[in-house]
Amino acid sequence: MAASATTVAADLLARIGVVPVVGPSLGGVLSAARPPEVAAALLLLAALALALARLAAAAQRASDDLDKIPGPWRSAVPVLGNVPECLRHDFHRVILNWCDQFGGPGGGGGKSKGGDNGNGNGNGNGNSNGNGNGNGGGNGGNGGQGGIVRIKFLWRDTLLVTDPQALGVIMGRGDGALDKAALAYAPINGMCDPHRSPNLLTSPADDAWKVIRKAVAVSFSFQNIKRKFPVVLSRVNELCGRLAALGPDASVDVDQAALRVTLDVIGLAGFGHDYASVRQDTPAYDHLLRVLPRCFTEVMLRVANPLRPVFPRWFKNGPKGEIAFKMFQKEMGMLLHQMKERGPPDDDDHDIAAQLYRVMAEHPEVSEARVLSEIGILFVEGFETTGHTTSWTLFNIATHPEAQRRIAEELDSLGLLWKAGAPPPRELELDDLKRLPFLSACTKEAMRMFPVVSIMAR
């Protein structure tokens, strides 16, 4: 998002630095000088005037171009920019409103359909934060399509881009692609590792990133996911058993249920550690189920407020956020310790822990702190993204009876539908997912309507 920083710096230098220095002092020099000195001074003056004119022209061009971009930058306050308006944990809503207000085709004025937005949210770091108003009104924001909106992040110009084509280029890996905006992602590093090491999500695509990315990609291959599918199935079945035992009239927090399965699957399939989340009645304060959301809230607040990590005591719940980070790091440290204790993995073990162990063994330049940050990011990225996406999908299916009927038909055609009075259906297999196109489409549509990662920073 932080675009044009250099042009803005030039603009500021030209406006603030050069002009006052040249003006008053030169008059004094000229009045007391002899002819050769006058000539030299005139030459100097001409050179300075030329340089100044060039700087002014460059600054003018830069600000002219930027000034054509609509956005709340016009109402930004000096130094702090638009940051004061964003000092809330759900600042993505403020950003969405700006995109609606200013980002319409032709620059401004487009308004979202469908009322308030129903986004699952997302933080400025490409991860999610567990709420969303859930009014089912669609994701609104169509006014933002095609849009570029200018805001001031502190004194720096920042662009909010909602144009899908431009995003394809910016987020891709080819020409025009931009690396992660380190500043915006920094709070995630602080969450994962006390040394604030970057990780797969937050690092630029440097050598360490490539090594780790290549290693971890093996864990996400179809073949490895297939090996791990029984873990997914067993936790889902356990959850279904527990929910069934509550009886038909029980009120169930489906989002919490989906988060619990997700945490168990990441722990077991990725690191061979059982968080037993599905089995918890009331998870302890230091259980990851409760630590992670506190950390995400703190990350969101730190993204919006760069002073928060520097002076945590100045801000509401600042110390609480710091403690949550420490609890999370302790837990990730425990997983790292277990990984090292287990020693070299078997040749056919391609779980995330095994792949990270291989990185450590084969690339001593990748530090332990970096690996700690990598372990953390897999929980940061995997937990609320998957949990909320699952619950948004179920929410949509539940509120669209026609879609529900079609999904039931599809499941029935494969012998996978539960029917009252009939014998239980066969167990789902991973390959069945290819034969469930309508269910897959519903999942994708839920992700389109309620993207849990709605903001990414470059």
Contacting residues toward ligand HEM, per CB under 6 A: 126, 200-201, 213, 266, 377-378, 381-382, 385-386, 389, 452-453, 456
In whole angstroms, the minimum distance from the beta carbon of 442 to ligand HEM comes to 13
Question: CB-based contacts of 404: which residues, under 8 Å, 6+ apart?
Answer: 397, 398
In whole angstroms, the minimum distance from the beta carbon of 367 to ligand HEM comes to 18
In whole angstroms, the minimum distance from the beta carbon of 283 to ligand HEM comes to 20
Of 45 and 394, which has the nearer Cβ to ligand HEM? 394
Output the six-digit token pair for 446.
Answer: 């839920």
Of 112 and 262, which has the nearer Cβ to ligand HEM? 262
Of 329 and 386, which has the nearer Cβ to ligand HEM? 386
**CA dist 311 to 80, 302, 308, 314, 446, Å?**
17, 11, 5, 6, 39
In whole angstroms, the minimum distance from the beta carbon of 164 to ligand HEM comes to 14
Q: How far apart are CA 430 and CA 444, in angstroms?
A: 17
In whole angstroms, the minimum distance from the beta carbon of 86 to ligand HEM comes to 18
Length of the chain: 458
Of 62 and 380, which has the nearer Cβ to ligand HEM? 380
Of 239 and 380, which has the nearer Cβ to ligand HEM? 380
Task: Please give the helix or strand (H or E) that residue 393 lies within, else none.
Answer: helix 368-398
In whole angstroms, the minimum distance from the beta carbon of 381 to ligand HEM comes to 3
* 239 closest CA partner among 269, 266, 265, 267: 265
Which residues are paired to 151 by β-bridges?
Answer: 158
Of 305 and 393, which has the nearer Cβ to ligand HEM? 393
**Helix ranges, 193-270 (H):** 207-219, 222-245, 254-265
Strands annotated E in 4-55 = none
In whole angstroms, the minimum distance from the beta carbon of 316 to ligand HEM comes to 27
Helix axes 401-413, 437-449, angle to 10 degrees: 150
Of 170 and 414, which has the nearer Cβ to ligand HEM? 170
Give the chain's radius of gyration (CA, Å): 27
* 261 closest CA partner among 395, 377, 387: 387
CB 265 within 8 A of CB 387: no
Q: How far apart are CA 435 and CA 404, in angstroms?
A: 17
In whole angstroms, the minimum distance from the beta carbon of 448 to ligand HEM comes to 11
Of 70 and 267, which has the nearer Cβ to ligand HEM? 267
Question: CB-based contacts of 116: which residues, under 8 Å, 6+ apart?
Answer: 133, 135, 137, 140
